[in-house]
Structure 1
Amino acid sequence: MSTLALSDVSLRSRARWHTTAAVVIGAWMLAGLGFFLAGASWWAVVHPFTLGALTTAVLVYSTHFTEALTRTPAASHLPVAGRVALLQGAVLLLLVGDAGPGWSAPADLGAALVLVVLGWHGVALWSRLRRSLAGSVVVTVPFYLVAAAFLVLAVGLAWAAGRGLGSYDDLIAAHSRATVWGFTWLTVLGTIISLLPTLTGARISATARARCTRALVVHAAGLVLAVGALLIDAPSAALPLLVTVAAAVMLVQPVLAGVLPGTRWRTAGLGVAAGTVWMVALATTDAVLLAREVDPREGIRLLVPALLGAGLLQLVTSVLLHLLPILVGGGPGKVIAARERADRGGPARWVLINLGGVLTLVAPGPAGIILLALGLLGHVLALALAVTLQYRKDPS
């Protein structure tokens, strides 16, 4: 009886935690959209998506996947909840400080809190990696550690820019690449190796797994060189950035080759596959723009709607469509029913997101952004409805 009670409490706690995390991610997505519609500053529009939604998702789900891969399940969600809570405070401080040129005290405190969160997160992941008894699949966990290190670098570059310790434009251009191609893209690469095959019912690619360490080293070295080049001579950053693209293709190609034949695609798998292809394509485009001497900050601004919407947020919401019904629980029948409810209308939302992403690149303007917003909000609403009905049918 006591064992059953303990298990029941654990399942309820897990459901509450992952539902809360999903609500926080969705709230930041809505906040970013609201800032955009209100005509807020670039800083206020971008960071609810990047630091708010994406970094919260990374903290929660890189921890979840690391626990699963290393077979070291957590006794409590409180540590990662503490990191997420500190991050929310940091984002609010950075938004209040509006940390453009000439940082304010709230922005300084917010940046310091982000560094504390990343340090805590890195130590937690490293501890689990050292205690792991799992096999070769744990080679993906170091991607999360290197990703966190790149975000530390990105925060340092942004702080230096705000304090006038060099060219503001050059520092922010380097900051954006360290954030996008270091922190977020490395997290995605470390995850899709096992996640995309799981979503599509395929086997994990042994080739991709064997290439992990080499690809990570090449990617990190190339990106460090690209960031350094952006600080002194932007066009020379193109070649090392293309090196990071090659490193990503080393992993993405065998993963996609393994899942494409005979796959019955659901919305989550389609979204993750499309988001992954978008990220490779946009990293390549960024390198080409740098090689053609397009202003580095203007180049990344051109890519941001597709990068955030069709790339990163499509990935996050697609993962949630698959993962959250499982994490909320309620038995196999309820999980399947919840997933099917979340999947209804999924192909149409997928088309909206990816067509919107294309439009933002070939015909910049409101049309593409509207399609992206409709598709992503559709994912969020479908997910909210599915989970709400799941709770109602199993209120315990």
Structure 2
Amino acid sequence: MLRLWISYLQLLELFVSSLVHMLYGFYIFSSAVAGDLSQVLNEYFHKANNNVNVEVKEEISKLNNANDLPPIVLVHGIFGFGKGRLGALSYFAGAEKKDERVLVPDLGSLTSIYDRARELFYYLKGGQVDYGEEHSKACGHSQFGRIYEQGHYPEWDEDHPIHFVGHSAGAQVIRVLQQMLADKAFNGYENTSENWVLSVTSLSGAFNGTTRAYADGMLPEDGRTLKPICLLQLCRIGVIIYDWFDISWLKNYYNFGFDHYNMSWRKMGIWGLVDCLLGNAGPFASGDWILPDLTIQGSIRLNYHIRTFPNTYYFSYATKRTTKIMGVTVQAYLEFTRCFSLGFCRCASGVFLQMFLPLTRDTGGFLNFCLHLAVLTCNLD
């Protein structure tokens, strides 16, 4: 009876969470379209004012360039987007509009940490993205990707280092990129070094993984496989269909970043779509996407090869979101429900209840307790 009740809670949470995510996605997309329409109307009715603004911006740009200060590159997290996507919306609250030295690259919102680090390098230096022959063959995608005819900071080198700021998964992308620079991992660029990075600032960076990945559907046993029924399965199906239809104007608004997998209907046809949906091909089959990198196991694998370097400044800012219910500090309701059901299914009720009460007094302690416990006890089932 208890397990039936837990299963009911899980299905209910999946339905509510899916609905919330879909409505939020629709809200963001409609806001972007409305913003673009508003901008077009403003330009039409205020041409004179726009001409004045252009002249002012050009003067400010000249002053900024005269300062000759290092640029600041803001790297978005999972499901994020860079400048030029979603119309006039800004992932970093318009920071890129205040100073031309602030760069916001548009990297694959769901591509792996490795792929995003490669994309970030060529975004700055210019040229065609090279994912590496060995990696591309192992993951089953094209070796070469997007072409940047003009790099956004082509003079980038040890004498012209850059400040990097990463949010969530974006912070780990920066560290992987710095390690690639130290390892001279880019063909044709033998002089790269870790000193190309002046500073790394993390905003809620997922350096050690996030237990949220398991709550959304990653199996705690290996940190790579998806549960049969979960939020990420719905996401996987939606992304495959989105990329398969390959509607150009829609992908100009938002792109998950899997173009190098050639999942368009023009290239793979209907049977290729079936193969991807069945999990036999594509990024979700090879594990070359971002969620496996955000599990605890995936982060351990990444961190094993990543070092910190003496000539780089490192800053990290952590955040939390909790609330108090009857004097007890807990996470948001949906997180509480999903972690409660996950933790309850993974351990004996007596042990669970004995450990539950003291941990709820810590800020956010119950959330991480349940999920870490699920990972640690998964082999006891």
TM-score interval for Structure 1 and Structure 2 normalised by the shorter chain: under 0.3
Which structure has the higher relative contact order (CA within 8 Å, separation 6+)? 2
Instruction: Name the TM-score, length of structure 2 as normaliser.
Output: 0.25
Bigger helix share: 1
Could you say which structure has the higher strand fraction?
2
State which structure, 1 or 2, has the greater radius of gyration over its C-alpha atoms: 2
